Homo-oligomer: A and B are copies of this chain.
Amino acid sequence: MELFFVSLSETNIFRGLTAENIAGLMDGRPFRTREYVRDEYVAYSHDVCHDMLFVVKGSVRGEMTDFSGKRLKIEDIPAPRPLAAAFIFGKENRYPVDIIANEPSTILTIPRDVLIYILQHSQVVLQNYLNAISSRTQFLSNKIRFLSFKTIKEKIANYILSQMKSNQMTIVLDQTQTELADFFGVTRPSLARALAEMQEEGLLRAERREITILDKEKLNNLLNK
């Protein structure tokens, strides 16, 4: 059995299939593997994305050129992982970044037609694929919802109200204030100050990791502008 089928079977897209299953599915369909040397370009930003790519050996990175020509690394992608799940369909099916090999690496390329064939002939792969992009959508939606709270007090109100279990008025943080501040994307003293002010205003009582909700109504009003 080719080693890259084993590698594929370890990706989230082909999970649940054996290397033999995958070989059977792809049998007679066009796909190719290619070795890249260190720093070789696998794909170029803005190119139309016709194929699904898998890193089956080595690792690659996403890199972009900013407006002034400077290079910025975006992400490292080690084998075994799919590369273009989100770019191959949709209105703007172009690579958003350059893809460059970090080390000698093997990329397996599956044309879009073949991917569609596979999705139509393996329920497991279809479900995996749909789950992968749907999870990503849900992740991004949550992130945007979270980013929509502008002030630290709004973030705090949203956080403690969503942590609250069944009208239990006291919650205990499972992370330090430093970690929470980091999660909120604010500085630690600013978080502590916001908590102190909210206590001053009678919304809650905060002592170290224990927060008691005193005025749920007012807390909530912070969230609806």
Contact = CB atoms under 8 A, between A and B. Distances in A.
B131 A120 contact: no
| Interface bracket on A | 35 or more
A66 B135 CA distance: 24
Interface in A71-124: 72, 86-93, 96, 116, 119-121, 123
Interface stretch (A29-37, A39-47, A136-144, A200-208): A136-144
Determine how many copies of this chain the complex contains: 2
Interface stretch (A15-23, A173-181, A187-195, A217-225): A217-225
A193 to B, nearest CB: 19
A196 interface: no
Nearest to A94: B138
Contact of A90 (B96, B121, B135, B221): B135
A89 B219 contact: no
Contacts of A48: none
23 contacts: A66-B220, A66-B224, A67-B164, A68-B220, A72-B224, A86-B134, A86-B138, A87-B134, A89-B127, A89-B134, A90-B130, A90-B131, A90-B134, A90-B135, A91-B138, A96-B141, A116-B123, A119-B119, A119-B126, A120-B121, A120-B126, A133-B133, A137-B140
Interface of A: 66-68, 70, 72, 86-93, 96, 116, 119-121, 123, 126-127, 130-131, 133-138, 140-141, 143-144, 147, 161-162, 164, 216-217, 219-221, 223-224
